[in-house]
Amino acid sequence: MAIPKDGNFFLRPWVFIRGVPAMKFLPPEGPPEVAFAGRSNVGKSSLINALLAQKGLARTSNTPGRTQELNYFVPDGHTGEGEDLPGLAVVDMPGYGYAKAPKAQVDQWTKLVFDYLRGRATLKRVYVLIDARHGIKPNDIEVLELLDKAAVSYQVVLTKIDKIKQPAVARLLNETTDRIAKRPATFPEILATSSEKGSGIVEMRDAIVTAVRS
């Protein structure tokens, strides 16, 4: 099933099909995939729920670091196996930068994410989420550098823009654009979103459709 040209594709029911704790459990490569990366507590699950118009699909938690697997979501009616392939799979990656988790656990999450980024041929784009209240932090830079090195196309997405004053949004967009301008694998346009207010969600759906169809 090919992904349509418009964002209405995201408004159909979506389902969780698999949590992947290690590379050997990945579903077979088939449909194009887009993945979401970000620091713990950046609002990743909330953004995925808003994007797919389903509350509670991606689990949100007040405890940072809860997502410990690659979580796969596809349109309902598709298993992602064999011939039953959807037009797109959405992948929620483990949050990074959570200092309170045991080091061995953090190392395990990090290895899983990095192996996935390096080795998944069907991965079309990674959306790197940045909390608008804090901007790009050192551990975000580490992820951007990894994506550049792996030549994985990525796009920066500002989250929680409703939490800062409107004049600060434009300033943050300019500052973030300047910081990523010379990175070889980044998509130049930055998306600004608010899961709570619904800001930027339509634009993000359109951006995903364009990335997958390109």
Residue 94, pLDDT above cutoff 90: no
What number is the average pLDDT over the span 107-114?
79
pLDDT digits (tens, 9 = 90+) for 38-53: 988 899 999 999 999 9
Does the domain spanning 7-213 belong to CATH 3.40.50.300?
A: yes
Q: Please tell me the distance from the alpha carbon of residue 141 to that of residue 183, in angstroms, as a whole number.
A: 11
pLDDT digits (tens, 9 = 90+) for 55-85: 889 876 544 445 578 999 998 876 556 566 6
| Strand (E) or helix (H) holding 19 | strand 14-20
Mean per-residue pLDDT of the chain:
86
Residue 133, pLDDT above cutoff 90: yes
pTM of the model: 0.90
Q: What is the pLDDT of residue 2?
A: 58
Ranges of each domain in the chain? 7-213
Closest to 120 (Cα-Cα) out of 174, 191, 72, 177: 72
Q: Please tell me the distance from the alpha carbon of residue 136 to that of residue 180, in angstroms, as a whole number.
A: 10
Helices (H), the chain: 44-51, 103-119, 138-150, 166-180, 201-213
Residue 136, pLDDT above cutoff 50: yes
What number is the average pLDDT over the span 145-166?
93
Residue 26, pLDDT above cutoff 80: yes
Amino acid at residue number 27:
P
